């Protein structure tokens, strides 16, 4: 099997240059790097991960910690991170904390402290001071996605702002009776996303002088089934049926559309529906939504990790970087039926 010496000889460079070119550590001219890569391919040379880690002190592996694995949003963030890590020549080790508190303790007190990973990306997890301290003591860079964490470089989205924009879209169409399908107590995740989105919804109503009606609120668990069940209750009340519904996630919004159809209601003629995420099924259902670009969140998190592992490649000055979001209008939102009739 060919070794690094053979690659160096074929490329006409030193073994040190081959090591830098293949590891990505240190400066190598692009023409030289291309020559080394071509020589390695020709000889079918494969870098030994053990030798590389001994030489560089890096395992070329990043640990990603998430609270749920079976939710589309987290999977999309994870996919973006994985694709970006692969492009940098890094592996990903996934830690799923859906099992509860004991799992979290094991991950942060044992698994991540072993020298298996070079850095940690925490998705939608509000790390404690002790969790951050342990990782910093081991010189492991940390990036948080979802909210601000003291002492950690983070990417966060303005959840009240997201909810305000969704609600303002419905108000701009003329809706005054707007229901909310938000999170239940079991889904009150780190960074309090359900609460923050409810606050944004209420702020938008208050700004327009629309009274907040607790009977127009239903709690669900951020799933299609949860949204369906909540919407059946909300839309099944003939005395207080809203003309529009803001669901705090696209999965709940899709459940709302399905519930409306089962109740014989047309979307958007009888009820408008808007969600959050821009789920992969949103376009199929014609769902208006607030896109928050989860795959981009994963890629940006990796960019910050790489900047911390290899200073000088990129520069992220801010401790907390705000994430973009955007209103996408599709066919599930329209003016209330009474106003549509008056305009004709």
CB burial string 98-132: b at 16+ within 10 A, e below: eeeeeebeebbeeebeeeebbbbbbbbbbbeeebb
Burial group, residue 337, by CB count within 10 angstroms (0-12, 13-18, 19+):
middle
pLDDT > 70 in the chain, percent: 89
pLDDT > 90 in the chain, percent: 58
Contact 197, 248 (CB under 8 A): yes
Q: Which two tokens stand for residue 292?
A: 């928050």
Question: Rounded to an integer, what distance in angstroms lies between the CA atom of residue 83 and that of residue 147?
Answer: 23
* Domain range summary for the chain, segments of one domain joined by +: 4-56, 61-157+294-313, 159-291+327-343
Given a cut of 50, whether residue 324 has pLDDT beyond it is yes
Contact 255, 231 (CB under 8 A): yes
C-alpha 15, offset from chain centre: 41
- What's the confidence (pLDDT) of residue 164? 98
Question: Rounded to an integer, what distance in angstroms lies between the CA atom of residue 94 and that of residue 306?
Answer: 18
More confidently predicted of 23 and 295? 295
pTM, rounded to two decimals: 0.80
Question: Rounded to an integer, what distance in angstroms lies between the CA atom of residue 249 and that of residue 309?
Answer: 34
> pLDDT-based confidence at 336, cuts 50/70/90?
very high
Q: For the domain bounded by 159-291+327-343, which CATH number is listed?
A: 3.40.50.2300
Given a cut of 90, whether residue 90 has pLDDT beyond it is yes
- What's the confidence (pLDDT) of residue 290? 98
159-291+327-343 matches 61-157+294-313 in CATH topology: yes
pLDDT in tens, 210-252: 999 999 999 999 999 999 999 999 999 988 999 999 999 999 9
What's the topology of domain 4-56?
434 Repressor (Amino-terminal Domain) (1.10.260)
Given a cut of 80, whether residue 50 has pLDDT beyond it is no
More confidently predicted of 69 and 308? 308
- What's the confidence (pLDDT) of residue 54? 42
Question: Rounded to an integer, what distance in angstroms lies between the CA atom of residue 27 and that of residue 293?
Answer: 33
- What's the confidence (pLDDT) of residue 316? 54
End-to-end CA distance of the chain: 79
> Residues 41-66: what's their mean pLDDT?
70
- What's the confidence (pLDDT) of residue 209? 98
- What's the confidence (pLDDT) of residue 335? 97
Q: In angstroms, what CA-CA distances link 135 with 75, 93, 315?
A: 24, 16, 22
Given a cut of 70, whether residue 25 has pLDDT beyond it is no
Given a cut of 70, whether residue 314 has pLDDT beyond it is no
> pLDDT-based confidence at 98, cuts 50/70/90?
confident
Given a cut of 50, whether residue 344 has pLDDT beyond it is no
Beta bridge partners of 65: 95, 122
- What's the confidence (pLDDT) of residue 150? 87
pLDDT in tens, 111-153: 887 768 999 999 999 898 998 998 888 888 999 999 888 889 9
> Residues 102-113: what's their mean pLDDT?
83
> At a CB cut-off of 8 Å and minimum separation 6, what does 171 contact?
178, 204, 205, 208, 210
pLDDT in tens, 26-37: 678 889 989 988
Give the DSSP per-residue string, 63-100. Answer: EEEES-SSSHHHHHHHHHHHHHHHHTT-EEEEEE-TT-
Sign of CA dihedral 38, 40, 46, 49: negative
pLDDT in tens, 267-309: 999 999 999 999 999 999 999 999 999 999 999 999 999 999 8
pLDDT in tens, 160-202: 999 999 999 999 999 999 999 998 766 666 778 899 999 999 9
More confidently predicted of 312 and 159? 159
Q: Show the CA angle centred on residue 84, arms to residues 83 and 85, nearest 5°.
A: 95
> pLDDT-based confidence at 100, cuts 50/70/90?
low
Is the omega angle on the peptide bond into residue 326 within 30 degrees of 0, that is, cis?
no
- What's the confidence (pLDDT) of residue 53? 47
Q: In angstroms, what CA-CA distances link 194 with 12, 83, 180?
A: 60, 29, 11
Give the DSSP per-residue string, 140-198. Answer: --EEEESS--TTSEEEE--HHHHHHHHHHHHHHTT---EEEEEE-GGG--GGGHHHHHH
Q: Which two tokens stand for residue 13?
A: 């460079």
Q: SS in 3 state form for 267-288? A: CCCCCEEEEEECCCCCCCCCCE
Helix or strand or coil: residue 229?
Answer: helix
CATH class held by domain 61-157+294-313: alpha beta
Question: Rounded to an integer, what distance in angstroms lies between the CA atom of residue 136 and that of residue 125?
Answer: 17
């Amino acid at each position: 099997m060919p070794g690094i010496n053979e690659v160096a000889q074929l490329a006409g460079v030193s073994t040190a240059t081959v090591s830098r070119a293949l590891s990505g550590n240190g400066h190598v001219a692009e023409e030289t790097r291309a020559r080394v890569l071509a020589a390695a391919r020709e000889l079918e040379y494969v870098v030994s991960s053990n030798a590389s880690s001994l030489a560089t002190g890096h395992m070329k592996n990043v640990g990603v910690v998430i609270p749920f694995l079976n939710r589309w949003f987290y999977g999309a963030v994870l996919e973006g991170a994985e694709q970006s890590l692969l492009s940098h020549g890094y592996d990903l080790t996934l830690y799923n904390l859906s099992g509860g508190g004991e799992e979290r303790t094991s991950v942060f007190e044992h698994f991540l402290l072993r020298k298996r990973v070079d850095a940690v990306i925490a998705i939608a997890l509000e790390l404690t001071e002790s969790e951050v301290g342990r990782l910093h003591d081991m010189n492991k860079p940390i990036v948080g996605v979802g909210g601000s964490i003291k002492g950690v470089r983070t990417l966060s989205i303005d959840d009240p702002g997201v909810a305000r924009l969704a609600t303002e879209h419905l108000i701009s169409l003329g809706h005054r009776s707007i229901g909310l399908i938000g999170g239940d107590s079991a889904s009150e995740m780190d960074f309090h996303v359900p609460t923050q989105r409810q606050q944004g919804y209420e702020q938008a109503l208050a700004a327009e002088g629309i009274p907040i009606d607790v009977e127009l609120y239903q709690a669900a668990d951020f799933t299609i089934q949860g949204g369906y069940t909540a919407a059946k209750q909300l839309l099944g009340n003939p005395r207080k049926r809203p003309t529009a519904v803001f669901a705090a996630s696209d999965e709940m919004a899709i459940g709302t559309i399905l519930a409306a159809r089962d109740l014989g209601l047309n979307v958007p003629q009888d009820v408008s529906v808007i969600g959050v995420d821009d789920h992969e099924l949103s376009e199929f259902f014609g769902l208006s939504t607030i896109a928050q670009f989860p795959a981009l969140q994963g890629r940006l998190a990796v960019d910050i990790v790489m900047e911390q592992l290899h200073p000088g490649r990129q520069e992220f000055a801010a401790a907390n970087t705000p994430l973009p979001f955007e209103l996408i209008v599709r066919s599930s939102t329209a003016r209330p039926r009474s106003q549509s009739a008056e305009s004709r």
